[in-house]
Homo-oligomer: A and B are copies of this chain.
């Protein structure tokens, strides 16, 4: 279940009219909220017109992408684009294929949000893809918000978008951020000016929900959180390298030694060469 806009627009007003928190929410907003008993009443700032561009590339991690996509798609009035080099469906690293809605060439020139998911070997290939990096650099230069989850931050970095910015990544890959001049920060979601990067994979839910609160308001984000029934109960306490059993952490470190070596070498190639045609 998600926000079904038609339902939402039709149904929200009654509850809104009776919502004590709206006045409170309004106080924190530039946009004033008028709560009336007119059943069509709706806070103006709850509907936006964001253009959101989410990058698909072969070998991306589907959960990196779909966590934020759920949250962004709940932004009333926003348009969410899933873009890739071609319109062919793009296979993830778990062999789940998502269909693009547009191509790099057709993606809106001015994005409110540029989002890049992470992955493993597919992300290493993206770090060596001049055409892709030029596109990310170009859209990232004008996007209001430049965002990523997991190793997607390495793609932003390889495009030259994180130089001098605090950023995070999947915990395994975080040391690679220094290769692109970023300042690695250890947090679930890291914001530095208009760069917002998330930690590994599942951090996309937290990143997406924070952005919904930022782009609308807290009550709106709480509504999306309740629709997602996002009250997580991980069965184990192994989700962070600080809490995982040492042998589990050691195994994962070992699994990704090859990834780290290839990551350092890919990032040593430097930023994409400027191309006035892009």
The chain A residues found within 8 Å of chain B, CB to CB, are 1-4, 7-8, 11-12, 14-16, 18-22, 61-63, 66-67, 69-70, 73-74, 80, 82, 89, 93-99, 101, 118-121, 150-151, 170-173, 188-189, 199-203, 205-206, 209-210, 213, 218-219, 221-223, 225-236, 238-241, 243-245, 247-252, 254-259
Contact = CB atoms under 8 A, between A and B. Distances in A.
A172 B223 CA distance: 13
A225 B94 CA distance: 15
A248 B160 CA distance: 41
A14 B247 CA distance: 11
A18 B254 CA distance: 12
Contacts of A203: 229
- Give the residue among A14, A99, A213, A249 with the most B Cβ atoms within 10 A: A99
Contacts of A231: 188, 202, 234, 239-240, 243
A95 B52 CA distance: 13
Contacts of A20: 247
A66 B73 contact: no
Number of this chain's copies in the complex? 2
B150 A61 contact: no
B172 A1 contact: yes
Nearest to A211: B235
A70 B209 CA distance: 20
24 contacts: A1-B259, A2-B61, A4-B255, A7-B259, A11-B254, A62-B66, A63-B67, A73-B94, A95-B101, A150-B229, A202-B205, A202-B229, A202-B231, A202-B232, A206-B234, A213-B236, A218-B236, A221-B238, A225-B234, A226-B244, A226-B248, A231-B240, A232-B232, A232-B234
Nearest to A187: B233
Contacts of A173: 1
A1 B61 contact: yes
